[in-house]
Amino acid sequence: MSGMKIVSAFRHAWLAYKRYAWGKDELNSLSKKGSDWMGVGLTIVDSLDTLLIMGLNDEYKEARDWVVNSLKTDQTMSIQLFEITIRLLGGLLSAYHLSGDKALLNKASHVHILMHAWADCNHVIFDPAQIEFGDALFVCFGGSNPLPANKVVIKSRRAEFGQTNLAEVGSLQLEFRDLSRASGDSKYEKAAWKVSEYLRGLKKFDGLAPTTFDSSSAFFSEYAPITMGGMADSYYEYLLKQWLQTGQTIDWLKEDYISAYNGVKKHLLKQSDLGKHWFIGTMPSMKDTHSANDVMDHLTCFYPGNLALAYMSGLPAEMLKTAKDVVETCYIMYKQTPTKLSPESVSFQNRAGEPFGPNVHEPDFFVDFGSAYNIHRPEAVESLYYLYKATKDPKYKQWAWDIFEAFENVTKLDEGYAGVQNVMQADRKSITYLDKMETFYLAETLKYLYLLFSDDESLLPVDRWVFNTEAHPLPVFKN
């Protein structure tokens, strides 16, 4: 087990991107070309801090120069505010803090004009045609509702309002607070903070919130599911991390986080019948709170690490016990498939005669075909990183190494990496690959693996840095 092997894997991915997709958002590994969905060279920006952390100085200089000289604000596609905030703004700010390069801070302030989408708004809907492109894009709901538009077309300065979810509106605060602290302009932090305060005041169920909002209001939909997975996950993550980012000075963030944890224990945390694995299910809605279903997706695997971080930050020790229980299930989601790769989700429903995989002695895990894919998600290794930090138990390193080796054995191609369509295919020759190398494989998954296996275990200490949901480290403030 070696951090240098992680670096080698990163370089293999990076060189393929550089060869076939430089300046594009993503590498299509099978067709060996690049593709865009934001038009911002996303793999480059998302990887800046990973390059710095791994000491890949030549690659970093080339990437940094591209960002400073070639990253433009002329995108014509409709871009999700959440995605570009956590990836682009987070990536630029993190690289600025790690390098001290003010050109990256200037680029963050200039490129991320989305930050003006709801800064300093009161009750006015501005005409985008009247706004200068280099200054600001002021768009807000026509009232006291602070929720931002969920999409924007940068070139035309047009905000697009549509269905948004809890994670999207509850996971912008770390980045905008950091932008204000770094730039000296408080309006971004204030606007994002209004969103947090608004979410705090909405009706919840034992600290848990539905995933979506009613289409005709800014209130939660009572018919939306309640989950720690997709469309909700990073809202809970940012309750804790905002508290940490602000020097543990805003008590209600901590209190809401603890309340949500108690709600998880009461309603979502379950144990499988046969394997006795602890998992976190999903509640159908606030209208149907009697029983959570027996499905846990991989995105939920962020939560054990989040609980371990909470424990390391002085919150109750029982959180670490829950973290240990659930992270083991996350690891088993890898261990008990033929490819040793986790599917997107698993079900704990007992279906006689349908074992999870060959030679499995605890057939209480099942995979639906639509959830059988793997795209190098970071959540499991992220949690193993924090569990090791909290306990120093070497088994968490071993489990993470097992996952890394599965990525190397199954998803590594001659050029780059690719996700797989069905982790249940035992024969390597029969595996169907997905034609994409996700940017978060470089930004998150390999970064957490490197930090776990680095010789310098003091790198980015948790009391001085907080990672955004795209694994971009931002500094902790004293207030």
- Output the tens digit of pLDDT for each of the chain's 479 residues: 889 999 999 999 999 999 999 999 999 999 999 999 999 999 999 999 999 999 999 999 999 999 999 988 787 888 888 898 899 889 999 999 999 999 888 777 654 444 444 443 333 332 322 222 222 222 333 445 668 878 777 777 677 778 889 999 999 899 989 988 988 888 788 888 989 999 999 999 999 999 999 867 889 999 999 999 999 999 999 999 999 999 999 999 999 999 999 999 999 999 988 788 999 999 999 888 777 889 999 999 999 999 999 999 999 999 999 999 999 999 999 999 999 999 999 998 654 444 444 434 445 678 988 999 999 999 999 999 999 999 999 999 999 999 999 999 999 999 999 999 999 997 878 899 999 999 999 999 999 999 999 989 889 999 999 999 999 999 999 99
pTM: predicted TM-score of the whole model, two decimal places: 0.93
Look at residues 403, 431, 438 and name the one whose alpha carbon lies nearest to residue 333: 403
Residues 348, 405 contacting (CB under 8 angstroms): no
Q: Is 276 left (phi over 0), alpha (psi -120 to 50) or beta?
A: left
Residues 72, 99 contacting (CB under 8 angstroms): no
The one-letter amino acid code at 257 reads: Y
- Annotated binding residues for Ca(2+), written as ranges, equal 469
3-state helix, strand, coil in the chain (%, to 5): 50, 10, 40
Q: Which fold has domain 3-38+174-475?
A: Glycosyltransferase (1.50.10)
Q: What is the DSSP letter of 113?
A: G
Look at residues 261, 233, 248, 276 and name the one whose alpha carbon lies nearest to residue 319: 261
The residues annotated as belonging to the active site are: 83, 233, 344, 379
For 461, the 3-state DSSP assignment is: coil
Q: Would you say how long the chain is, in residues?
A: 479
- Cα radius of gyration rounded to whole Å, the chain: 22
Look at residues 294, 287, 274 and name the one whose alpha carbon lies nearest to residue 346: 294
- Annotated binding residues, written as ranges, equal 469
Exposure string for 97-127, b = 16+ CB within 10 A, e = fewer: bbbebeebbebbbebbbbbbbbbebeeeebe
